[in-house]
Each structure stands twice: as structure tokens, then as C-alpha cells.
Structure 1
């Protein structure tokens, strides 16, 4: 019995410890900040841990195995740090500039030191190497400066691949950067991308490469986008998690860029799948169902609302509602919302109410801007990590919906002019 108890104790203890920790030395300014650690599933960032802060140290405990890119987000400074996880401890120190934005990051763990050096190496390759090659032509081979230039050119032209032998994720990340680099796509064909997705190893979804590479794939496929997408989806197999994640990404890209015909086609294909659907594709299907014409827009409780005593979207009584998702840092919002302001009295006289939801990171910035407008406004203060994105399928600001008195969506205008035109407001 004692042996069994000891074994049980050992099993429980292994589950109570984190897979790995991320330790960040932070300036005093961030000592009261909310700090979050995210991993990736394609372009979706998944919250892995919230930091516990003590004595100017932010400590994340990650209790799930994870290999791939990660991002620490410091809410108070609205700044982030990218890093690599090999399911091992990560240690770093950050410094802020005079505006309290992150100005310097010093990694202390081997994999992120290598990653940091690689980022610097790529910058030099892209910005400095071409200039050095041109400058060299102005000197004779016998001159010492020519020899120095040649040494530096050789150093920037040849990467030490042996350094990555014990770091398979970094090796994968560096080898496949060409697919997400817009400047490299002239060298690639649609078939290269299809082969990459169908044969890529386990790190694709956590590499942060997937979405930018799919955008590049679509650009390469301009002559036959639909045909090449069909070939891609056949190659990756929609009955697999990878195939469904790629399908989800494509639907969201088509939605973002207003490619409605393609979005509708592949959303229908997703809805018609008879196999088990992974969480990623299921969330895309649900978000689109939530916001199709005729659907009852999901209710949401207000958390930081101004200009109302209502507790939720459904509590607002009006013959129609204009729901707008916006941000204080959105230039298009700056151009369009004042036009709604000009017509607000006219709208109110027709019992039409405006309800704004802000995707600001800072509640102070939200309130400063929202107070310029007399209509109802709310914000979670979480930026693009707000619940609005997943619930209402928001991929850009401003995004408009017009609701009837029963909260069903009757129109999804693209611009403020379309809003006013639909409502016949002069």
C-alpha cells in the first residue's frame, strides 16, 4: 500500500509542475501591468499563461507542452516580445524607452539567444549586404578596406547551419521563412506552396508562418486562385486537423479582403464536411453563422459602457441599431465616425441608436475618444484579444452591422455612406 501511495504522490506531483517557465525581468513601470503569454495555432494566438509579478519579475508557468513561436504582451506599455519555445525555460530582460515602449530585449537562454542573433543576421543580410557589395566595386582588391569588405560580405553570405542541429524548430523556421517573405515569392510557384503545406512537419501551425504564406500563395495564384485553392485543399485533406486549419485560415483571409464569392464557396464546403471538425474550423463556422444576414446577433454584456445605463446590447430599445466596431487608432474610423456624428440627431429622431464597441488596448484612450461621440460605447480594453473578434467575426475596423428591433442583422454595410444610404438618412 505504501508503494502505491508513493507512486500516486509522484504522479500528482508531475502534473502539478509546469512544463516550462518564462521568466522576464521587467522595469518598475510594468510592475502593476497585466502580462500575457500567447502561443500560436496558425494565425490564432492562444493564451497559455498570465504572469505573476513580484519584485520586478514576471513569471509565466506553462503547463502544456509547446514548441513554437510565443509572444509576451505587456498591456500597460502596449508592447510585445516575440520568443521561441522548445518546451524549456525561457529567460529574458526587457528595457523601456522614454515613451515606456520596449526598446531592448536581452535573452539569457540559449535557444532565444540563437533566435535573436538570427533576427539580427537577417536584418543585416537584407539591409547591409547589398550595400556592401556595391561599395566593394569602388575599391581595388589590393586595398585593405576591400579585404575587410570582402570578409564581412562572406560572413553575411554564409549562415552557420551547424548551430541549428540541436534546435529543430529554429531549423524549420529559418528554412521555411521564404514562404512567408513577400520579397521571395517571385522565386516560388503555387505548386511549391502546395508541396510545402502537404509535406510540412509538425511545426507549421506554431511557426507563425501559415497565414502570411497563404497570402503569398494566393498572390502567386492570381491567374487561377480558385483552381489552386482546390488543389491545395485536396493535397492537405480536409479530414485532417491541418487541412481544416488551412481551410479556416483561407475563409478568414477571403473575408478580410472582401473576396465574398470565394469565402462563401469554402464556408459552404466547411459546413458540408461529414467528418469530425477541429476547434479552429468550428470557431470560424460559428463566427460566420453569428453574423450572416437574418441571424440574431449574439448578445453581449457591457463592461465599460458610457452614455447608457443598459447592461447589454439587447437591453437597448430602438427600432434599429447601428453596431460599429472601431478603435481610437484606426485612421478609417477617424474619417468615418464624424460623418455618423453629423447625422446622429436625425438618426435619433427615427429611434435609431448607435452602439460602438472599441478594440482599444487602453481604456483611457478608448474613453478619451468615445466621449467625443454621444452614442453608447463600450470596450473590453483588450485590443484584438477582445471577445468581439471570435463572437462577431471582426477582422477590420470599422465594421458595421444594422440590426432590426428584434436584434436580427438586416444589413452589413461596408462604409458609413452605405449605412446612411441603407437607412435613407440625408
Structure 2
């Protein structure tokens, strides 16, 4: 009996040691449905859970590493994320999905998230609802039935005190930086001043920046502000180029922050199809003589490997295609066209009739299409592929799909034509660009 007790205790200690904290919740009207759970980094996020709620709408996931920062959950169509704040303590929230698919938090889950929700409630009432009520008030007088309730509500909101968040440093940082993002959007104040505010933030923000997920929004605002007044595409690119030079010189590429920014910048440029600028900053990254971060190394590797003339990675499919293809290289055809798309993508829908028309002759020429979808909803995906005869696959985790990372995909549709030796012949978004290459 004593031996059993000791063994049980050791197992219990082991289980406790494996998790820093637990993130769990119950969502009413969301039973037996999927949830994606992610933790944020400065410029992106990491998927830590692709789970299904139980019959009560509950789920639980252990977070093994010490983590203070933003936790995001995606549900429904995965296009909208809902934010929780982690201070490395357990979170156990209760929420519901309304008939309009709104996500309502009933119990925030712990003290920091309760304060976060209180602040959001205060902010929306004080800065959004109150001004509207004050405008409406001009159209009523003391004889109107609605006058007194309206006046009382205006007074109640006016007297609301801002929730004290001083005991939660990360929450304070996140809310202030969220305000910075909103206040530096185009049209809000002086462009040069706003650009300098963002530049100062990149230079001086502390460790909290690294788990806040705010980097990409700040970087986009910085680029948009920098490109204001451009009179042509060339002028636009020149302004962006100059802004990048200033940013990297100010922050310093030898620093981890500078290398994060350089990595995110390369991905931004590549995503917008700015080939010359992408090549310029890829060369700048490759020429660094200081120690290079793992993140920047990966960006260099990804951008170098998925290029015309390179060999495409031997990606593993989520499902065994046609009950015989596990890997891309298993498909031994003269040509392979990898098409990354989604059922929700309007550009994909516009291109699809031309792809179907192309496929008939492509198949006769010894080619095969492998369509990899970044869908989330299984039913939507299956309905979209019902009338296609090419090979289809999806892991149904939206932009967190593993092939998105393996193929360095930045948008849909992306078409990658490879030959029999798996050499990339063409990367494009238009099937017409592929048509002329097939012999």
C-alpha cells in the first residue's frame, strides 16, 4: 500500500511539473466543436492546441512553459480571434455563443482577465457609447419619456472610474500599445510624429513586447505612414525602402529585436510581391556577420528554398491521397501543380473555373494537381471539392496549416508548378501563367 502511494505521488508530481498552468474554458452552445489555441510572439503566434470541446462545450489544455502574454483562441470559421491575458496562472473561463455568433465572456477565468474585461467594458462605454448618448441627448427635452433614463445613463457612464491595472504590468503594456496602434493609423494625427512614435516603441519596448503579438500591426502602420504621398509604384517602393533602412539602422540588426524586425520585414515584402526589395533585404540578412537568431535563419532558409529553380520540399500530406500517396514525391508525374487555396478565398473562386478548364489538358500531358486548402470548416471544404477530380488535402487549421510554413505561403491562391524531378518551374497566382509552360 505504501509503495502504491509513493508511486501515485511521484506520478502526480510529474504531471504537475509538466504544466506551468492550465488554460481551460466552457463555451455554451459550442459542444463537440473545434478550437485553435495560440500563444503570441512579437510578430506572429504559435499554435499550441487544435482541440474539440466535449458535450458540455468544455476544453482544457496544459501550457508547459512559463508564459506571460497573449493567448488567442479561434473558433467558428477561425477568422476572428478572442484574446485572454496570461500571467502564468490557471485560466478557467465561461463564455457563450449568441445566435448572431457573438462570443460573450461570462466568467473571465482569473483575476487578470477579470480586470481586462472590466477595462474593455469601461473603455467602450466611456469612449464609444457616451459620445453617442451625448449626441442623442440634444434631440430630447424634459417632457420626453426617454429624457430622464438617458440623462441618468449619461451621468452614470460619466462618473465611471477607470479600472486600476497598475498591479498587472503586462496588461498595462498591452492596452497602452493597443492604443498606440489605433492612434497611429492613417488619418489619426501627424504622420511623421506617429511614425517616430512607432520607431521609438520598437527601439525601447521591453520584454513584454515579445509575447504581445503587436509587432506586425505596428510594422504595417509604420510602412503605411512612410508610403504616404507616393505618386507611383516606384515612388511607393522607394519610400518603403527608405523607411526600412531607417528602422533597421535605429534598432540595430545585431540585436535580437532588430533581427525580429528584419525577419518580419522580409516576410511582409514577400507577401506583397515586392521582389526587388525582398531580394535586397534577404541579401542584407545573409551578409550579417553577427550571431543570427533562429527566427531570422528560418526566414532566410524559407525564402531561399521556395524559389523557381529550387527543389520543392517533400511535404507530408495530412491524408493518404488516393489511398497511396503519403508524400509529395510519391506522385510520379511529368508535372505537378501544387495549388494552395481556400473555399472562403474570393480570388480562388474567380480562378477556379480556369483551373478546371486547364486541368483537362494538363492531365493528358502527364500532370496532376495537388490542391492544398487552408480551410477551417470541414463541411465548407468538402462542398468546395465535390466536383473536382484532382488530389485534395487539408489539415483544416487555416493559416496554421503545416504546408503554409513548409511552402512559405503568404497568400491565396498560390500555384507552384514542379517538374518530374520536383524542381520548381513557376510560382504564380494565375493559371494563365502556367498554361504556356506545359509542353
Is the structural similarity TM-score above 0.5? yes
For the pair 1:256 / 2:271, whether they are aligned, the reply is: yes
Matching of residues 301-380 of structure 1 within 5 Å: 301-307=316-322, 309-380=324-395
Does the CA-based 8 Å contact 1:35-1:73 persist in structure 2? yes
Q: 1:293 to 1:281 in 2, by over 3 A?
A: same
**How many residue pairs were aligned?**
410
Show the counterpart of 1:229.
244
2:162 to 143, 160, 166: 160
Does the CA-based 8 Å contact 1:307-1:374 persist in structure 2? no
For 2:199, what is the secondary structure of its paired residue?
A: helix
Q: 1:126 to 1:412 in 2, by over 3 A?
A: farther
Show the counterpart of 2:401.
386
Show the counterpart of 1:299.
314
The whole-number CA distance in structure 1 between the counterparts of 2:422 and 2:217 is 36
Does the CA-based 8 Å contact 1:22-1:91 persist in structure 2? yes
Does the CA-based 8 Å contact 2:412-2:429 persist in structure 1? no
Matching of residues 25-44 of structure 1 within 5 Å: 25-27=26-28, 30=31, 32-33=32-33, 35-44=35-44
Deviation at 1:382, TM superposition (A): 2.0
For 2:392, what is the secondary structure of its paired residue?
A: strand
Q: 1:52 to 1:13 in 2, by over 3 A?
A: farther
Tell me the TM-score normalised to structure 2 length.
0.83
For the pair 1:198 / 2:221, whether they are aligned, the reply is: no
Question: Which has the larger displacement, 238-247 or 174-183?
Answer: 174-183
Matching of residues 268-283 of structure 1 within 5 Å: 268-283=283-298
Deviation at 1:235, TM superposition (A): 1.9
The whole-number CA distance in structure 2 between the counterparts of 1:324 and 1:55 is 36
Does the CA-based 8 Å contact 1:326-1:398 persist in structure 2? yes
**Could you list the runs of 5+ residues in structure 1 that have no partner in the other structure?**
1-8
Deviation at 1:199, TM superposition (A): 0.5
**Could you list the runs of 5+ residues in structure 2 that have no partner in the other structure?**
1-9, 229-238
The whole-number CA distance in structure 2 between the counterparts of 1:386 and 1:110 is 33
Does the CA-based 8 Å contact 1:136-1:149 persist in structure 2? no
Does the CA-based 8 Å contact 1:33-1:76 persist in structure 2? no
Deviation at 1:419, TM superposition (A): 2.6
Query: RMSD between aligned alpha carbons?
Result: 3.2
